[in-house]
Chains A and B, each alone.
Chain A
């Protein structure tokens, strides 16, 4: 028989709840280590993503000089001169040692200095990416925000009226929105709104802002930025709205069957309090991680949307950088995107801990 453990402090108060023994200090310690573990894991994922991106870029065929030369050539420069011009701009050594490059790259990663864009060497890659990314983040963010507002309310309403015509209609719309590619939907919107009906000033809406509007903290600028971003926002909102709607409906349906909701009704609580404090709050919990996931996939999927909508955001830039073989930009963009996805999910996790008290003590499985 093993030796008995050191006697704990005498504490035999009736009904001493188990949590008391762990004490706040321990909880905080565990909590801290959980956060630490999550962060360490995130850093590892970012490193892996960076390395994979580096390798992909490194072994991707195609020479940025030749590609730029091709562009110059087709815009009216002789082939020789085009190559010379491209060489003048792009300092790129295709034969450099992989390891040296990789180590440089890692060093750059740590020091946040990934060098300059190949095709536009006067800018650091971060500057370059930041030129575009905020616009996409703005559009995606606004789209997701819109989707959250619409999707969650409609989804919840549908769950409340399960089986009604409203529910069937909304569920169909939700499946439609999630099922049909968002770029197809937005293309259809353009064709119908612009080409067929002529009510959508699509061509004026392209780009980020209208000429003459100075960026700044004023209504005109924001109004204009929104005017230009409205189609991307709608496009991004499409899928997200659909999936939030369906998920929210499912989650709400699930929560509605929970005992505590029935109990709340039995308690004669007001309907509004039940739907907000009891149903909504709990149904939201599983949606929150999906919001982060949606943000990630939408930013990733912005390539096609921005292409169709001619919205110069991160997707277009990425596409451009890839076809130009502007490796540093691609790397930086991917790393920034990956990092933001990772950070978003980290934030969501940490946020969930705040809104769902159950996680703090039990759910450390992650």
Chain B
């Protein structure tokens, strides 16, 4: 790669980011969805762009490779910018985008919102792509727009094959798809250059440092202010160290409380904190223990917890937040939605918990709480081996319940396949996420709350939580299944209404016991190489899915000192 020195007008300086890559196993085959060098890292935006990035606050698309994006009914029109070049000097065209979409569509899991509904993608001309959906949907275009665009020049044969298979009705798991997937998986392109079209291109790929330089002709190459992007290899420990010595400007590693106190004194250190869209809660197995069906019992449990403590231990100060409402929605979603309803707020209150349990027919005896049938209540909370926040939350929750007089122990299950365990309902109480980290659409949270891990089939009961008819005090019997559909597909008002109703149902029946929400914290060092590092208007963007700092770099909003 003949390097042309600095690229964009007036680009200078260096921006250093840290990420735990591993070039000894990673490869350059971007058609594979995993194991590709740095493409899963937030920094990927800088070299392998997508059509658009989402602004999580406004739910508007921030066009990237696309100049504009319009969803009209079931048709998505992507207008590409012209003049963007791949590093092999070819133009970025609609053909690349269409091919990318077909590859993704074919390999996407069935049941994935956005890909299931996608019918076809066509290149109308060099810069226009039309995507047709079978039905309209909030966020249906998400998948197509957020796929990292791949060069037809390299992946064309697979893209064409994928298109052919999709058109023939092939889905993920079908024989044609499997064959193609195997073909793709066997290729690593390590002997060739990684073809990208972003503002930066790979310069040197070392074992511990990767440097990127401006790719003239790449997307936003004229806007960016840094001539070099350096990615330091580093896990948590290393990033702590790098931050300590101000050797990096930005780190998205999730650091524990101890790490945070370690780096607290670094000059110019800036904590960039974003409310997360998911959190940690508990699933009660109603199928195994019918007593959990009693909302009093669920509420009582909820009143036992000191969620501040649990969050503090599991995530450390600043790593979590306690939701403003117990509606099953993260704060950004819940904002404004429940202004006119009175929701129960579950702050620690052992007296209340006692009375609720007694109301439910439970009785406390010397050996602990007994259920209405007189049996001693004994439960085990399971977490997952190696998932530290789960383990710590579960331990703390069990500890607090025990302190309250319930016989609850904590245990880890191996990380092999926790979904299998959850789905099968092979647990008493399980630590599990609630809400949904991936997409900023409210229905994602409902799906997690009621449907994920709760398929209720004979061999996979999950939580055993009823969804067809849920008893509530204020709303009577509610059909959650229907409401869920409305929250996805209805008009904006219908969606809002359904969301509100579901929120109230959640608040009264607690289908999951929400402990806390994750606060996404990343770290920046200002003043060393970079003036200010600020998310700007993308404050709510998730740092992993639509990293605000990367968008700002591409926009030229972050500058060297």
Contact = CB atoms under 8 A, between A and B. Distances in A.
Interface of A: 61-63, 66-70, 72, 74-81, 83-89, 91, 116, 119-123, 128, 131-132, 203, 206-213, 310, 312, 323, 325
Given A79-B452, A122-B188, A132 B24 contact: yes
* Centre residue among B172, B204, B207 by max chain A CB count within 10 A: B207
24 contacts: A69-B417, A69-B419, A70-B415, A76-B437, A84-B109, A84-B112, A85-B33, A87-B172, A88-B172, A116-B186, A122-B27, A203-B237, A203-B238, A203-B241, A206-B238, A207-B207, A210-B207, A211-B233, A212-B206, A212-B209, A310-B235, A310-B237, A312-B22, A312-B24
Contacts of A62: 414, 416-417
Interface string B34-47: 11000010000000
Contacts of A116: 186
Contacts of A68: 34
Interface stretch (B177-185, B194-202, B467-475, B528-536): B177-185
Given A83-B109, A203-B238, A207-B208, A89 B415 contact: no
Interface in B213-254: 233, 235, 237-238, 241-242
B61 interface: no
B107 interface: yes
B2 interface: no
A67 B416 contact: yes
Nearest to B205: A211
A81 B112 contact: yes
Interface residues of B, number: 53
A174 to B, nearest CB: 33
Interface in B1-49: 22, 24-25, 27, 29, 32-35, 40
Contacts of A131: 24-25
Given A62-B414, A207-B233, A119 B173 contact: no
A211 B112 contact: no
A84 B415 contact: no
A70 B112 contact: no
Nearest to B172: A84
Interface of B: 22, 24-25, 27, 29, 32-35, 40, 107-112, 172-173, 177-178, 181-182, 184-188, 190, 204, 206-210, 233, 235, 237-238, 241-242, 387, 414-420, 437-438, 452, 544-545
Contacts of B29: 122
Given A86-B34, A122-B187, A207-B208, 4 more contacts: A70-B415, A84-B172, A88-B172, A89-B185
Contacts of B172: 84, 87-88
A68 B34 CA distance: 10
A206 B188 CA distance: 26
Contact of B438 (A76, A89, A208, A211): A76
A97 B471 CA distance: 50
A227 B172 CA distance: 48
A50 B96 CA distance: 47
Contacts of B32: 88-89
Contact of B208 (A66, A79, A81, A210): A210
A311 B27 CA distance: 20
B25 A120 contact: yes
B188 A88 contact: no
A167 B419 CA distance: 60
A87 B40 CA distance: 18
A85 B33 CA distance: 6
A29 to B, nearest CB: 49
B186 A66 contact: no
A122 B108 CA distance: 21
A69 B506 CA distance: 29
A83 to B, nearest CB: 6
Given A88-B185, A116-B186, A131-B24, A67 B417 contact: yes
Contacts of B177: 88
